[in-house]
Every structure is written in C-alpha cells, then in structure tokens.
Amino acid sequence: MTVDVWSAPPTTAVLVLADGTVIEGRGFGATGQACAEVCFNTALTGYEEILTDPSYAGQIVTFTFPHIGNVGTNDEDVETVNMAAASGVRGAIVRADVTEPANYRSAKHFDAWLKARGIIGLSGIDTRALTALIRETGAANAVIAHNPDGVFDIEALKHAAAAWPGLVGMDLAKDVTSSQSYGWTQTPWVWDEGYGTREDGEFNVVAIDYGIKRNILRLLTDAGCKVSVLPATATTDEVMARKPDGIFLSNGPGDPAATGEYAVPVIRELVATGLPVFGICLGHQMLALALGGETVKMHQGHHGANHPVFDRTTGKVEITSMNHGFAVDAGSLPATVEETHVSLFDGSNCGLRLKDQPVFSVQYHPEASPGPRDSHYLFRRFTNLMRQRAGGETIPEKAETA
C-alpha cells in the first residue's frame, strides 16, 4: 500500500524585513531582489491599475484580498503613462497562488505580465498576519527576493533591508515623470466600445506630471479640457507659455518635501497668477507646502478603494480611492487656507482650498481606477472655476456613486 505524505511546497521567494523578520513563500513574476517599503492595499479589484500606479514607486504592495491575478492582465488597464519608467512598484505579495486567467478581456497571464515589468511576486503567505504587523509597527523597509532555485543569503538580505534608507527624503517623481511634454486626447472607457478621443476642449489645462495616471487625463479630457502634460521639472515660464486656463498638479510617489525642493517654488508662482489650480495626492501635499503648511510621514499610510472621507463644505461622505504614505499636517495650515476634507478612519487631512483664490486640492484619487466614482464631481468643480474666471455660467456638481 502506498501512503501519500504531504510536504510543504519549496521556498522560492522571501520577504526580509529591516527588523530581521523572514517570511518565506513561493515566487512568481520577475526574479532577483529589490529593496522597498512594504504597505498593504485593501481594494478588492484593480490589481493591474494598482501595480501600474506611479505613486507606488519604491514600494512593495501586499494585497489583503486573497485572489490576485485570476482575471489576467491587458494593456487597457495600465495606468502609468511613462512606459520607459514602468510604474516603479518593486513587488507584489498575495495570499493564493496565481491561477490561470478567467476573463474575456485577459491578454496575458499575471505571472508573465509581472516578468515583463520587472516586478517580483511572492505568494503563499499569511497576508493577514503581515497586514496586522504593518498596522502595529508601521510600514516596514524590506527586501523581496525571488530565486527559483530557492537559495538565499538571508544574512545579506537582512543587512540590505536594514541599510535601505526608506522613503523619507526621497524624490521619486523624477523617476516616473514624463521626459517631455505631450498632448492628451483619450476619453474614459465605455463598455463594449473601449476608449474614445476628444480633440477639442473648452479649457486649456496644463497638467504637471509628478507620476500622473492615465485615467486622470481621461477624466480631464472628458470634462472639457484640452490637456497638455508637462514634466515634474517644468518651470513657471514653460507652464505659462501654454496659455493655460487652469493648472492641474498630479499624484506621484516619494516624499513631498524632497520633490518640493524644485516643485514648490513653481507651484507658489502658479498660484500667484490667479489661475484655477487643482491638485491631488502628491500635488495636494506640495500645494500645502507652497501655501505655508507642512507634511508628515504616516504610520502605515492609506492604500485602498474603500476609504471614507467627510467633505466639510457639503456635509457629505464620499468613499474614495487612496494611495499615500505622507500627509498634510492640518495644524500647520495658515489662516488663509481652509481644510475641506478629513479621513473618517483617522481624522487626517484629505483636502484644502484657499479662501480667496480658485485653488483647491484633495489627498485621495478622484479618478479612482480602481475604486468608486463618488469623487468624479471634483473635475467638474475644476472646470466650473475656469468658467467663473472667464465669466461663464457654471454647471451643477453632482457626486457620482459606483
């Protein structure tokens, strides 16, 4: 009689934290090793959009939803614009092993997609325990390593994780921004039709790219904007040469104070022009710096598509998509700035506006992708500010729900 004896699958990937903790699992995607900060994302869908969001540069994403990769990947759902820089995310950690894709839109297996983008995958670990650890001790510096042979120099990996300096003081926008200016005409995806185009526009908008996502540009275009995208290092003269009706400050990765060394003086000058300014995420943080506020590193950050935010100006609550490890210190904002939104998770700042100028920003990602559409109205708020400045009639703001 033959007796089957179960044995654990071999270890082909590890996550080594800066405190010496070693987590073993199974590797997929790219091979090699990478130092980064480990965070967790609570979204149930949109793993491809998450892993191509440039705001994740320098990070390893732990997915709290256990089944990742099961619907495959396709080129339509990629969010990064600068394909040469990829997205900057260093690794993906998932609970269940990746299965064969089961979706009519799938064009490539998740494993092959990660390989092509140089992203290391780690599966088969208790992602709940890792998430709890991050919640208790904070986002950890770590090394993720994948070797199909299962051979690792653990002591060397511990040293590398402990030696990595972390995201504080890192300017990562320069790694993910576009290298040159370009125009954008694509509009949002429509079921059974795909993406459309719009060549004209009521408003001329300059979007400064600190790590911008495609769906942001699509929603700006859909809202009636003719969009020109400029690199993160664009000067005030370069922006104003486009004769904009409004300025958009994009999302992006890294420490806002570090990127702000060159971006904040430009933002301050753009605010002084009196033009409408709309910022999100990193753009929100650097706008706060330009207005006299300060930013701080968060304990674990906010990453997910289910974050409740209270809008103090309307009394409404919107469910938002977030991805940030730094936040604006609301107590540092000067009297000329009003705090407009706060997180209902921890009370942290999620929005601001100048009291006497058409300037506002939010910490979350109103374009979602993935996530709910509650905050799409902010793009109409931006276009209304440009209409008001031109003496036109505004249109109603109506929050959308998923």
pLDDT at 5 over 80: no
Q: Are 225 and 201 in contact (CB under 8 A)?
A: yes
Could you give the percent of the chain with pLDDT greater than 90?
Answer: 90
Residues 189 and 321 in one domain: yes
pLDDT tens digit sequence for 323-351:
999 999 999 999 999 999 999 999 999 99
pLDDT digits (tens, 9 = 90+) for 107-122: 999 999 999 999 999 9
CATH code assigned at 376: 3.40.50.880
Active-site option among 146, 284, 365, 376: 365
Phi, psi of 329 (to 5 degrees): -80, 105
**Do 78 and 44 have their domain in common?**
yes
pLDDT given for residue 65 in this prediction: 97
Burial class, 321, CB count within 10 angstroms (exposed 0-12 / middle 13-18 / buried 19+): buried
**198 and 328 co-located in one domain:** yes
Alpha-helical (H) ranges within 88-213 are: 110-117, 127-137, 154-163, 173-176
pLDDT at site 280: 98
By CB atoms closer than 10 A (0-12, 13-18, 19+), residue 148 is exposed
CB burial string 247-256: b at 16+ within 10 A, e below: bbbbbbbbbb
pLDDT tens digits, one per residue of 48-68: 999 999 999 999 999 999 999
pLDDT band at 7 (very low <50, low <70, confident <90, very high): low
Residue 366 and residue 230 in one domain: yes
Question: What's the domain count of the chain?
Answer: 2
Same domain assignment for residues 354 and 212: yes
Mean pLDDT taken over the chain: 94
Does the pLDDT at position 375 exceed 90?
yes
- Would you place residue 397 in the very low, low, confident or very high pLDDT band (cuts 50, 70, 90)? confident
Same domain, yes or no, for 180 and 318?
Answer: yes
Question: By three-state DSSP, how is residue 264 classified?
Answer: helix
Whole-number Å distance between alpha carbons of 387 and 394: 6
Residue percentage of the chain with pLDDT more than 70 = 96
Q: Which amino acid is at 350?
A: C
Domain that holds residue 253: 173-389
Structure confidence at residue 230 (pLDDT): 98
49, 79, 339, 367: the active-site residue: 367
Active site residue 350: no
Same domain membership, residue 184 and residue 127: no
pTM here? 0.95
What is the pLDDT at residue 86? 55
- Annotated active-site residue 225? The verdict is no
Which of the residues 281, 302, 324, 350 is marked catalytic? 281
Are 121 and 203 contained in the same domain?
no
